[in-house]
Structure 1
Amino acid sequence: MSSIDLLISDCDGVIVDSEILSHRVLFEALSLHVPAERLHEALEGTFGLTVPSIIELIEKRFGLSLPDTFDSDLRRQSERVVAEQVQAIPGVREALMAIDLPLAVASNSRLHNVESSLRRAGLSERVAGRIFCAEMVASPKPAPDVYLLAAERMGVAPGRCLVVEDSPTGVLAARTAGMQVIGFTGASHIPAGHDQALRELGVTAVIERMQDLPELVNRLAGMAD
């Protein structure tokens, strides 16, 4: 008897290699207000933070007051670049199609952006509308809300859900929701040593290649209750 009834994947950095694009847009926008060399240093270690948190950090560090429209302008530009340029994580479609479990997506991105990314990855039919986003819940990741919503809507107990995540924020959300997590470190933006950071947050396993996902999921799902 399978111990897992539902696979839930993050989108950005797991299904599509979008974080590197979003970071580039953020860096270009902030570099209009902060010298590039100082900005590089300031942004080290911010992977996994929300954009508002990064903006707040930069404002405090450099004594800035960015324009009120900075966040909304940045979001529009980032969404445009991702929609036009994002590529699927190598092997992700084949991996997710090979796994014999229902698949949902839980993301901090907005619904229309996730839908666009899934189309780019060729996974719209595989997910079949089982998309859960921050706009649907009270609090985004690292709160567990979006993962708990996915489990509730799918009629699956959190303890029988398996999540694939790339960021500390997402891992914290899924672990707080009471779910097992596989850490993924194969996206372009992943820093050195990130696998250890994810292990310290309690992931069950870490993979760098999507080709390794089906076998790992099958093994974890086959564990006895």
Structure 2
Amino acid sequence: MAPNAPIELLICDCDGVLIDSEIIAERYLYKTLAELYPVAELERVMAGTFGLQTREIFARIEAHFGKPFPEGFFQRLHDQVHDLLRSEVQPIPGVRDALMRIDLPLAVASNSQSESVAFALQRCDLVERVNRGVFGADHVERPKPAPDLYLLAARTAGVDPRQCLVVEDSSTGASAALTAGMQVIGFLGASHIPPEHGETLRRLGVHHLIRHMDELPELVGRLHAAV
């Protein structure tokens, strides 16, 4: 962040920051793929795919096994994951309390569809707290890792991107926010985060990492005061 650019807007990702959803989706995806392909070989293909978008994982699997997915596969997968998330997903521990303690306007920018983000906010009891907009992948032509979602959030709030502070869990989202010119806090507390992910985020240029949401208010306060 440039000197003398005070933080005016906090922007949170949704999946893996507000709700612990990624682990549910990943487990069901693996279970479904294991019904189609040999498990041992599938494990080798899936190794190192953390942080990739789902379409990139599908492309890797399709290229490796040399055959297309069955007809209707993607729609069935989408519907099942949607239903599982509605019934099982839980808020990230402490997220509501942490965000209520931060005296900054708040927006949410997610690669999920805006309908799914709205559901997540209801599950976390954060609907009233998010007072600068909810932005989903359906709001832009290029979702993360492109910076468009974050730039849209800043523009809608009337805030310079350099004055935005983003909380992200994924390398895809962190890259998007950094490209937008924003400062990023990396959150490592979701169930799907591997132990080495902090170093991955640091290599991207994320200088501040937390593992528990109760660390967030104090860190935001320090960053705000340091300007």
Tell me, yes or no, whether TM beats 0.5: yes
CA contact (8 A) 2:188 2:198 kept: yes
Report deviation, 1:2: 7.3
Query: Aligned residues, how many?
Result: 224
CA contact (8 A) 1:107 1:133 kept: yes
Quote the RMSD (CA, aligned, Å). Answer: 1.4
Structure 1 position 203 matched with structure 2 position 206? yes
Q: Residue 136 of structure 1 corresponds to which residue in structure 2?
A: 139
- In 1, Cα distance between equivalents of 2:196 and 2:145: 21
- Give 2:172's aligned amino acid: T
CA contact (8 A) 1:164 1:182 kept: yes
1:89 pairs with one of 92, 98, 104 = 92
CA contact (8 A) 2:198 2:209 kept: yes
- Give 1:48's aligned amino acid: G
Q: Which string of whole-angstrom CA distances, capped at 9 and with x for unpartnered residues, describes residues 55-97 of structure 1?
A: 1111111212102432222122111111110011111110011
Q: Residue 115 of structure 1 corresponds to which residue in structure 2?
A: 118
Q: Where do residues 22-171 of structure 1 align in structure 2 (5 Å cutoff)?
A: 22-128=25-131, 130-171=133-174
Unaligned runs of 5+ in 1: none
- Give 2:60's aligned amino acid: L
- In 2, Cα distance between equivalents of 1:129 and 1:171: 20
Structure 1: 4+ residue segments shifted above 4 A: none
CA contact (8 A) 2:6 2:163 kept: yes
CA contact (8 A) 2:11 2:109 kept: yes
**Helix, strand or coil for the counterpart of 2:129?**
helix
- In 1, Cα distance between equivalents of 2:5 and 2:41: 51
Report deviation, 1:128: 4.0
Report deviation, 1:3: 1.1
**Helix, strand or coil for the counterpart of 2:128?**
helix
Report deviation, 1:186: 0.4
Unaligned runs of 5+ in 2: none
CA contact (8 A) 2:132 2:157 kept: no
Identity value in percent: 53
1:19 pairs with one of 22, 46, 62 = 22
CA contact (8 A) 1:2 1:223 kept: no
Q: Residue 185 of structure 2 corresponds to which residue in structure 1?
A: 182
With normalisation by structure 2, the TM-score equals 0.95
- In 2, Cα distance between equivalents of 1:45 and 1:173: 20
